[in-house]
Amino acid sequence: MNDANPDRDTHNGRDVNKGRDPIIKFDKVVKRFGDHVVLDELDFEVKRGEKVTIIGPSGSGKSTVLRILMTLEEINDGVVYVGGQPLWHQWRREQLIPASEQHLRQMRSQLGMVFQQFNLFPHMTVLRNLTEAPVQVGGVAKAEARKRGMELLEMVGLADQANKYPHQLSGGQQQRVGIARALAMRPKIMLFDEPTSALDPELVGEVLNVIRTLADEHDLTMLLVTHEMHFARQVSDRICFFDKGRIKEQGTPEEIFTAPKEERTRAFLKAVLDPDD
Ligand SMILES: Nc1ncnc2c1ncn2[C@@H]1O[C@H](COP(=O)(O)OP(=O)(O)OP(=O)(O)O)[C@@H](O)[C@H]1O
């Protein structure tokens, strides 16, 4: 299946697609590193409120998609749209021209990203990690940012750790702070780049639980890259299998995990789900 049916009903109990425009759209996007083509005229869409997981072999371009959206990587060709606006371009006299720094900053503020390595500020308390960007970049009053920060810490179950420093927390707790921090700027879209792969196995569950709650209780758009297939199956409305910088196959978790159509998808899933076979 190459395109999600826009009138599909529900998945995981959520009405995800009905009548909604794509909030993310990659239109024939090319990304190269030197001669290495990482995204090969990629067409890809995520609808407003949809939870989409990208899976695929190492090097297939999964993280690059997230990094492009976060404006951490430029594109070589094509157009990326966020909320209907070009991300890496601006309109001038009906022509697309390269985006200004100001445009990039404004577009970026619609997205929050959770990184594999947490990326917390080590010299700031947990609460300050959450208030810094809203106060310094978003112009939010300190008291308001602290109130919102405490609400987010409450949500990820860490309100009692507000005055600690990151190194005093476990990896799982640090990543829960990472999630709260990404939410602090009130993004419309949350990106997760292998959020549990740097964690000891016993700490994975607490982080996945927080992400699952976010997915179930909020109308956020979520785009995830994860190797946790069981989790991907539970949390996603749609799974995209990437291979060599393109979408090889996409569909509901049921379609992808129980009846993949492409041989490449079958082989990949077999390798990750039954590694000892
Ligand atoms: N800054 C860079 N310079 C050169 N090559 C890069 C750079 N970033 C990524 N690449 C290459 O681009 C390809 C795609 O990388 P990407 O991180 O998107 O893959 P991925 O599908 O997320 O893989 P993994 O599952 O291993 O994280 C890889 O071959 C990688 O080596």
Q: What is the per-residue pLDDT across 202-229, written as a single tens digit (0 to 9) for each?
A: 999 999 999 999 988 888 999 999 999 9
Quote the ligand 1 centre to 32 CA distance (angstroms).
10
Any ligand 1 atom below 6 A from CB of 64: yes
Residue 5 has pLDDT above 50, yes or no: no
Quote the ligand 1 centre to 64 CA distance (angstroms).
7
Q: Report the pLDDT value the prediction gives residue 1, as an integer from 0 to 100.
A: 38
Which of 53, 58, 196, 227 for mutating ligand 1's site (highest number of atoms within 8 Å of CB)? 58
Residue 260: pLDDT band (50, 70, 90) is: very high
What's the complex ipTM?
0.96
DSSP letter assigned to residue 253: H
How many whole angstroms from its chain centre is CA 14?
18
Select from 35, 28, 46, 203 the least CA-distant residue to 110. Answer: 46
Across 158-180, average pLDDT: 97
Any ligand 1 atom below 6 A from CB of 35: no
Cα distance between residue 87 and residue 81, in whole Å? 5
Residue 100 has pLDDT above 90, yes or no: yes
**10-41 pLDDT, tens digit each:** 556 555 554 568 999 999 999 999 999 999 99
For the chain, the average pLDDT equals 91
Q: Residues near 31 by Cβ (< 8 Å), separated by ≥ 6?
A: 37, 38, 39, 42, 61, 64, 68, 73, 75, 76, 245
